[in-house]
Amino acid sequence: MTAPDHEEHYELHDGIVQRVFEKPFEQVAAVTEMYLCATEDGQRLQTKNSPCAKRYLMRTLRIADPEYIVTFGVGRPRFFTRFVRGIRAEVLHLPFFSKRSTPVAAMNAAVNWAVYSLIALEQGQQPPAMSWKWPTNDPNLPQGIKQYR
């Protein structure tokens, strides 16, 4: 049964955690909205230069001190490149699932890559090469796991 406040978007997050760690999400992971002052309907988000992310995201990352971060959306790698420094986490950037921009097969490939990469990292092994392509031709989008140390 699905809770009344269930948000389908977070099923991707939970699925990754279940496949990698085989534990309940809340025991090994956390999720936060990068754009902490997002609009109710997702419109007019400042994805390239979020003032709320600049104000709150680094503080959140320092408190959580994650080993891994998985982001969703093509704007996230651009934001991280410009504003995120001094974290120890391995960062896996994935596209945001949208029927308009990221087909199901492409999203499944991206999520599978993230899962296999996290499993490899947990076992001290080399993660696999990306097995998917971004839904845009932007050459600045990461083609593997990033570090923002």
Instruction: Quote the longest CA-to-CA distance of the chain.
Output: 42
At residue 121 the predicted structure's pLDDT band, cuts being 50, 70 and 90, is: very high
Indicate the helix (H) or strand (E) that contains 83. Answer: helix 75-83
The average confidence (pLDDT) of the chain is 87
Pick from 111, 82, 78: nearest CA to 94: 111
More confident of the two residues 90 and 6? 90
Can you give the residue ranges of every domain in the chain? Answer: 13-147
- Which DSSP string corresponds to 33-53? -SSTT--TTSTT---SS-HHH
Sign of CA dihedral 100, 54, 79, 28: negative
Structural contact between residues 145 and 90, judged by C-beta atoms closer than 8 angstroms: yes
| Cα dihedral 17/20/24/25 (nearest 10) | -20
Percent of the chain with pLDDT over 90: 52
The pLDDT assigned to 128 comes to 97
**Which of the two residues, 87 and 9, has the higher pLDDT score?**
87
The pLDDT of 127-139, averaged and rounded, is 93
Whether the full predicted model's pTM is greater than 0.85, yes or no, is: yes
pLDDT digits (tens, 9 = 90+) for 57-101: 888 899 999 999 999 988 889 889 988 999 999 999 999 887 777
| Residues whose CB is less than 8 angstroms from the CB of residue 110 and which lie 6 or more positions away in sequence, other chains included | 94, 95, 102, 132
Band (pLDDT 50/70/90 cuts) for residue 1 is: very low
